[in-house]
Amino acid sequence: MQDTIRLTVAQAILRWLVQQFIDIDGVETRICGGGFGIFGHGNVPCLGEALYPLRDELPCYRGQNEQSMGFAAAAYAKYHLRRRFMFCTASAGPGTANLLTAAALAHANRLPMLMLCGDTFLTRLPDPVLQQLEHFGNPALGLNDAFKAVSRYWDRITHPAQILQSLPAALATMLDPADCGPAFIGLPQDLQGWAWDYPQAFFAKRVHRIRRQSPDTLEIAEAAALLKAARRPVIVAGGGVQYSGAVEALTAFAQTHGIPVVETIAGRANLLADHPLNIGPLGVTGSDSANTIAGAADVVLAVGTRLQDFTTGSWTVFAEGARLIGLNAGRHDAAKHRSLAVVGDARLGLQALDAALKGHRAAADWTAKAQAERKAWDAYVAGNVAHGNRPNSYAQAIGVVNALCHPRDRVVTAAGGLPAEVTANWRTLGIGTVDVEFGFSCMGYEIAGGWGARIAQTEAEPDRDTIVFVGDGSYLLLNSDIYSSVLTDKKLIILVLDNGGFAVINKLQNNTGQASFNNLIKDCPTVATPFAVDFEAHARAMGAKAETVANPAELALAFQRAKAASKTTVIVMQVDPYDGWTAQGHAWWEIGTPEVSSLASVTASHDKVEAGRAAQRPGL
């Protein structure tokens, strides 16, 4: 007879989770680094009880907001290159609903995160209960069903035995190179505490490994033939290069065959800034160098990228006649836009292509042209980040930090104008050290993501710093993890760059012919008395060190003090909302504009946007 142990559903879930390990470069590590939790009636009686005896193996960080917990979990997974993850637990109702945005962010960025959330009672005897949504014609439908759209794996446990199937399936999804993303498990409040006789074998230690799928030999041969025939090849390096551990393979491949490399936003920090084949960031928030070379290329090898519109300039960056090769673990991504699909692991795929291209090199004049373009871009960036007798800007702040940080310090930003400014102006000092969240472009990720990244960084590189760039708009949206970082002794350096509102959207508003309206605080008709927030005092109130600086020179001194400090430091600097934006490096971006307007400036802008459509590649 099989040995069994009687456990509640909540106890069984966590006992199983604590026994799951992953082999990372020959070292076995618990795959779940712990979790983030806010307890309520929907999870504290049962899941909370089950977590307490495992608090050392699965540390549960107390969150301040469920959405920010999810952001922190996403940043943790990104730091660990999707090989480790955190769980998030929330009560039923609004606590769980707050995780929806974070789940969408993890889904868009293909990041693992396990959500263990309270659900309505299976028996329905006490219905309607506190925070329950009633659907009169469908009593099984509830709030948690909303997560089906933002999860890679979704389940609602309705019997204790189901977790024998559901938990391994959820983990397999989170570890899958092609289908990686968030997993949601709804836990009805009564069922969490129900007991069942589970087989002891279910809780045996298991060591997992990330699958490496070898690409099809015929696909490799066809791709190699295309590259051999190319006169102007270019490599687009995406975030998947890092997730597959293919940075060295990419570098060796590019060097051996003399092929220029351009980076996506997610692929920033695949190559160091001074690598001779790093031609710069690509796309709408890219560089003139990368966009020029991509536009002239006749064959584009896209490695580990989902080819988002900011990467492709809404499909205007590449020439219409250029041939695309999509090397990707995911079939959906590999086959986009008439690409020759090479479905497989990036590292194995690059190694196979390298062998198939033995002895072949791109034309030397093509590589030299690309390098000349990068040299010109570097000169532009140097001037852009320089400070002197001109208004404070994002670029200047980025330049100050870039010059003073350690090569292994991690930079985190998201949404607003900072992703574009960091992508264009940051010079990569260390591989995999840049986290620009632009898959979901989610305001509020910055500080929460910095906290999650710092938790991960403390495990691997405790002597290095996590540096957060955040605008005043995102700061006001979600700032409570300054308090979290102080409580947990996870030091952050946070630069709050205050431009008086949503300045980048104000810029977009003006660029489309409209008057400034409802973006900058001073341009809001409903604002009676505009005033500046005292971000320094606010940060101090949450336990952080804080100071306000007047200019980049003062910022440099403050940053050095923050580096020397032992706890979270917030540095505030006002920047100009109109001047100092990176003016070069942009590609066309498709946006919706009014075809008819009472303002001639709006219709003129519409005509200008539409004119850019002539370069747009057809999707067929």
Sheet holding 60-62, edge to edge: 60-62, 32-37, 85-90, 113-119, 182-188, 153-156
Distance CA 81, CA 75 (A): 10
DSSP for residue 521:
G
- Residue 272, amino acid: L
Helical residues (DSSP H) of 260-345, grouped into ranges: 288-296, 309-312, 331-334
Per-residue model confidence (pLDDT) at position 526: 97
Residue 526 neighbours by CB under 8 Å, 6+ apart: none
Distance CA 69, CA 445 (A): 10
DSSP for residue 44:
I
Q: Does 217-376 match 4-208 at the fold level?
A: yes
Per-residue model confidence (pLDDT) at position 389: 82
Q: What backbone torsions phi and psi does residue 58 show, to the nearest 5 degrees?
A: -125, 75
pLDDT-flagged residues of the chain (< 70): 1, 620
Per-residue model confidence (pLDDT) at position 620: 54
Strand partners, 571: 495, 547
Q: Residue 205's CB: how many other CB atoms inside 10 A?
A: 10
The pair of three-digit structure tokens given for residue 390, joined into one six-digit string: 């001109």
The pair of three-digit structure tokens given for residue 71, joined into one six-digit string: 């952001």
Domain-wise residue ranges, the chain: 4-208, 217-376, 388-574
Q: What is the largest CA-CA distance in the chain?
A: 82
Distance CA 381, CA 385 (A): 6
- Taking alpha carbons only, the member of 566, 567, 568, 570 closest to residue 558 is 570
Per-residue model confidence (pLDDT) at position 388: 84
Q: What is the CATH number of domain 217-376?
A: 3.40.50.1220
The second-level CATH assignment, the architecture, of 388-574 is 3-Layer(aba) Sandwich (3.40)
Residue 263 neighbours by CB under 8 Å, 6+ apart: 236, 237, 238, 269, 270, 271, 278, 280, 281, 282, 290
Q: Residue 226's CB: how many other CB atoms inside 10 A?
A: 17
SS3 for 415-479 is CCCHHHHHHHHCCCCCCCCEEEECCCCCCCHHHHHHHHHHHHHHHHCCCCCEEEEEEHHHHHHCC
The β-bridge relationship of strands 466-471 and 195-199 is unpaired
DSSP for residue 273:
T
Task: Please state at what angle helix 288-296 crosses helix 364-385, rounded to 10 degrees.
Answer: 160
Per-residue model confidence (pLDDT) at position 275: 98
The pair of three-digit structure tokens given for residue 480, joined into one six-digit string: 């409570």
The answer to whether the predicted template modeling score (pTM) of the entire model surpasses 0.85 is yes
CATH topology of domain 4-208: Rossmann fold (3.40.50)
